[in-house]
Amino acid sequence: MRVRRLMLVIVLGGLAVLLAGLPASAQEQTTYLSLQADTTDLQTGQEYTIRIEVRDVPELWLASAEIVYDPAILYVMGTVSGQPVSIGSFFSEGPALDALNFVDNNVISYAVSQLAPADILSGSGVLGTFRIYPVAPGTTTLSFRRANIRTVTFSGEGDEREASDPEAVPFTPVLLELNVTGERVPPPVEATPTPAPTSTPVGPAEAVAELPTQLPTLENVTGIPAAEESEPAAEADDDSRDTLVLAVAGILAVVAVVIIGALVAITRSRRRT
């Protein structure tokens, strides 16, 4: 009886260790919509590319944003010629359309959507890029005044699918802080404006109608937490947990075999006596 109790205690203890060592991947991840650059230390009179990035989005069909900047320090390329934002690589798997793409005063307005028969996207990537041209020294920020991420529900098969029930996807907006040095310079000369494109449906009417101007002003955070930026490290931690789980399971198996063998030997010994 004591041997059986001992065996039960060991097995239960091993299960507790296994549960403690399981990866935490089942926890919900935070979706971030951020503005990113290769460098935040800029020089006047040079062009720099800014990326509009999404991180860990579960489902995305349409995204829109109003990005605020200080025109006294930054000039946005495309202010005169139009179409300041280029569609990002996140939409490379299917056709996409930028229904909004212009600069008005100190705001960049951009809306991009998948087009049927494309599928709903998930994961991380670049939604769009635009170029800035610093014209004066100073510290400044690029931030989201309003933004929106939506997913939709499909019914039907193939090209006959219909999208409906657009739903908002929660996210955290992340601003970009920039430091500009150098002498004041004039803004660059751009080509004359191109004719505005005609409006084209990009999905269910409800999703297209949900433009950034209909959303409340957002409170941006200053950066993505370091723990969530270190994706390779997180993957390494998961591998370590998996290795630990396998090691504990192997030890438990060996211990169980030894205990069972001892239990059988004791039982046989008692029968003989």
Last residue in a domain, options 205, 224, 243: 224
Q: Mark whether 246 and 197 lie in a shared domain.
A: no
Element (H, E) at 42: strand 41-43
Q: Mark whether 196 and 239 lie in a shared domain.
A: no
Place of tokens 């900047």: 69
Q: Mark whether 79 and 150 lie in a shared domain.
A: yes
- Write out the DSSP string of the chain: -HHHHHHHHHHHHHHHHHHHHS-STTSPPPPEEEEEES-SEEETT--EEEEEEEEEEEEESEEEEEEE--TTTEEETTTTTS--PEEPGGGTTS-EEEEEEEEETTEEEEEEEE-TTPPPEEEEEEEEEEEEEE-S-EEEEEEEEEEEEEEEEEESSGGG-EEEEEEE---EEE-EEEEEES---PPPP-PPPPPPPPP---S-HHHHH--GGGSPPP--BSS--HHHH-HHHHHHHHHHHHHHHHHHHHHHHHHHHHHHHHHHHHHHHHHH-
Q: How confident is the model at residue 70 (pLDDT cuts 50, 70, 90)?
A: very high
State residue 236's pLDDT score.
40
Length of the chain: 273
Is the per-residue pLDDT at 188 higher than 70? yes
Q: How confident is the model at residue 194 (pLDDT cuts 50, 70, 90)?
A: low
Q: Mark whether 206 and 247 lie in a shared domain.
A: no
Q: Mark whether 7 and 49 lie in a shared domain.
A: no
Instruction: Using alpha carbons, select from 226, 217, 175 the residue that is nearest to residue 35.
Output: 175
Number of compact structural domains in the chain: 2
Is the per-residue pLDDT at 109 higher than 60? yes
Q: Mark whether 166 and 43 lie in a shared domain.
A: yes
The residue-averaged pLDDT of 23-34 equals 72
Dist CA 124 CA 201 (whole Å) = 25
Q: Mark whether 194 and 162 lie in a shared domain.
A: yes
H helices of the chain, in order, are 2-21, 205-209, 226-229, 231-272
Is the per-residue pLDDT at 76 higher than 70? yes
Q: Mark whether 42 and 19 lie in a shared domain.
A: no
Last residue in a domain, options 191, 206, 224: 224
Q: Mark whether 259 and 155 lie in a shared domain.
A: no
Q: What domain range is 244 assigned to?
A: 2-24+233-272
Instruction: Using alpha carbons, select from 177, 106, 179 the residue that is nearest to residue 138.
Output: 179
Q: What is the CATH number of the domain that holds 219?
A: 2.60.40.680
> Is 126:51 a contact under the CB 8 Å cutoff?
yes
The 10s digit of each residue's pLDDT in 116-136 is 778 899 999 999 999 999 999
Last residue in a domain, options 224, 242, 262: 224
In the chain, the largest separation of any two C-alpha atoms, in whole Å, equals: 105
Q: Mark whether 37 and 19 lie in a shared domain.
A: no
Q: Mark whether 120 and 213 lie in a shared domain.
A: yes
Work out the mean pLDDT of the chain and round it to a whole number: 78
Q: Mark whether 144 and 172 lie in a shared domain.
A: yes
